[in-house]
Amino acid sequence: MPRRIAVEEAFVTHEIVEAWDAVLAGARVEPGFRMMGNTMLGKSPGAMAVKGRLLDIGSGRIEHMDEHGIDMQILSITAPGVQVLDASTATRLAAASNDRLIEAIASFPARLAGLAAIAPQSPARAAAELARVASSPGIKGAIVNSHTRGEYLDSPKYAPILEAAQALALPLYLHPREPSPAMVRPYLDYGLYFAGWGFAAEAGLHAMRLIMSGTFDRFPKLTIVLGHMGEAIPFWLQRIDNRYQLQMRIGAAPKLNRLPSEYFRDNFVITTSGVCSPAALELSLKVLGAESILFAADYPYESVAEAVEFMDGVDIDEGDRERIYWRNAVRVFHL
């Protein structure tokens, strides 16, 4: 059996990079994406090096995995994926990148698996794309890079996507990106829109919208994967329950069938991507239990060496270390 499975590992295709460049050259660009375009997706030597690694889902990536003791990567299209493109381009490029992903997995079936890209801009076609690729060996879930043009998956228009994910038993990885246009303004200063804070604020909000909208009363078998140690939600969970109960009584929150924390425990798992804090892991273990935490390295954005060094060395039960490193990934993604 594999010993280390990393479940939030990014890639991109040339076509998507070209489509981003076209959007960034246009007149109407989401402010958060414009900031990303000027840095992460730009032409600086650092950005170009990352881009080179994102584009390689062949032998170069396998070599890097070998170097760092990663037995398997679950690949997903990097943020914002196709979600900043017009609906028809996005739908076409999501399918093309899934075909590229399936081909890469076929070359290294023991080392790579993947999450399907979809274009939420066209919910019915996104659901059809999930159905198309679900039977491909190696496709083990779907990725959504948080908001799509400022909209979140709790919106009724996206129900076909959640319905398909649930019916096909595909976990949905809710990956961060820069905050939506309606919330991004105060994040544009000091780099706050980026992964140090804004990404977690955005993805955490998205997860909370799914919980508080009763999405899991409608889709009780849906599994959501949240990176970055649960985007801080485990830290807040007691207070979220406590205030929900008060707000529900005074009419300031809708009534749900269950407590917010119950959905979080049953419908979510979290990953360690980008977080190498023993305290944050300890809190998450106490709040959620070892069955709910999966290892991720967030290649190529984070140091895989640091992630492995952290997870090899952190002072936890050996059985829990195995659960986090690979056993939970095998269960959650049906590997």
Which residues of this chain interact with Mn ion, rule CB under 5 A?
Answer: 8, 298
Indicate if 317 belongs to the active site: no
Whichever of 8 and 154 has its CB closer to Mn ion, that residue is 8
Distance CA 70, CA 68 (A): 6
- Short-list 256, 258, 201, 257, CA closest to 233: 201
Q: Give the ranges where 250-277 is alpha helix by DSSP (H).
A: 260-267
Distance CA 57, CA 60 (A): 7
Helix (H) or strand (E) holding 211: helix 198-212
Q: Are 255 and 245 in contact (CB under 8 A)?
A: no
Instruction: Provide, rounded to whole angstroms, the least separation between the CB of residue 74 and Mn ion.
Output: 11
Centre a 10 Å sphere on the Cβ of residue 14 and count the other Cβ atoms it contains. Answer: 10
Instruction: Provide, rounded to whole angstroms, the least separation between the CB of residue 47 and Mn ion.
Output: 16
Whichever of 298 and 320 has its CB closer to Mn ion, that residue is 298
Whichever of 104 and 127 has its CB closer to Mn ion, that residue is 104
Whichever of 262 and 302 has its CB closer to Mn ion, that residue is 302
Q: Burial letters for 236-257: b for 16+ Cβ neighbours within 10 Å, e otherwise?
A: bbeebeeebeeeeeeeeeeebe
Instruction: Provide, rounded to whole angstroms, the least separation between the CB of residue 15 and Mn ion.
Output: 20
Q: At which residue do the structure tokens 């076409």 appear? A: 92
- Secondary structure of residue 237 in the 3-state scheme: helix
Q: Are 262 and 292 in contact (CB under 8 A)?
A: no
Instruction: Provide, rounded to whole angstroms, the least separation between the CB of residue 92 and Mn ion.
Output: 24
CA distances from 22 to 53, 85, 190 (A): 21, 9, 26
Share in percent of the chain as helix, strand, coil (round to 5):
55, 10, 35
Instruction: Provide, rounded to whole angstroms, the least separation between the CB of residue 324 and Mn ion.
Output: 17
Whichever of 141 and 260 has its CB closer to Mn ion, that residue is 141
End-to-end CA, the chain:
11
Whichever of 40 and 133 has its CB closer to Mn ion, that residue is 40
Exactly one of 298, 312, 315, 320 is catalytic; name it. Answer: 298
Instruction: Provide, rounded to whole angstroms, the least separation between the CB of residue 302 and Mn ion.
Output: 8
Residue least distant from Mn ion (Cβ): 298
Q: Which residues are catalytic?
A: 298
